[in-house]
């Protein structure tokens, strides 16, 4: 079967750094994506890793280790607007996405 595991909830304060981990078991792995979804909103693409290593996009970075079937999303200089759900998603070679159950991030002042 296919499964992705993420923590269900993470809390942090403004200005802090938070890491959201994702482990996966899947066939046909092509890469790992991260999406942000605010309550009532659409998922929004944040980052993508096809190869091992770190990808940095502004305050957000994502890491992948294919040998460990593991990745993480790192959010720096947290802001209140970062409060949302974050999903890791395995991208298959057909471009379909298999999503995890999501991590709800709450940022406090």
Partner 1 sequence: ETGVTQSPTHLIKTRGQQVTLRCSSQSGHNTVSWYQQALGQGPQFIFQYYREEENGRGNFPPRFSGLQFPNYSSELNVNALELDDSALYLCASSLKGQAEAFFGQGTRLTVV
Report which of 40, 38, 82, 39 is spatially closest to residue 60, judged by C-alpha positions.
82
74 burial (CB, 10 Å; 0-12 / 13-18 / 19+) is middle
41 binds partner 1 (CB under 8 A): yes
**What is the distance between the terminal CA atoms of the chain, rounded to a whole angstrom?**
41
Among residues 3, 25, 44, 79, the one that binds partner 1 under rule CB under 8 A: 44
Minimum CB distance to partner 1, residue 101 (Å): 5
Per-position x/- string for 67-106, each x denoting binding to partner 1 as judged by CB under 8 A, each - no binding: --------------------x-x-xx-xxxxxxxxx----
Site size for partner 1, by CB under 8 A?
Answer: 24
């Amino acid at each position: 079967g296919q499964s992705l595991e993420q923590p269900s909830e993470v809390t942090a304060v403004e200005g802090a750094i938070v890491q959201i981990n994702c482990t996966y078991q899947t066939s046909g792995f092509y890469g790992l994506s991260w999406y942000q979804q605010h309550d009532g909103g659409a998922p929004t693409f944040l980052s993508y890793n096809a190869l091992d290593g770190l990808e940095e996009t502004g305050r957000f970075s994502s890491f992948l280790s294919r040998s460990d079937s593991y990745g993480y999303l790192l959010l720096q200089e947290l802001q209140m607007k970062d409060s949302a759900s974050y999903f890791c998603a395995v991208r298959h070679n057909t471009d379909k996405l298999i999503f995890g159950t999501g991590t709800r991030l709450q940022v406090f002042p």
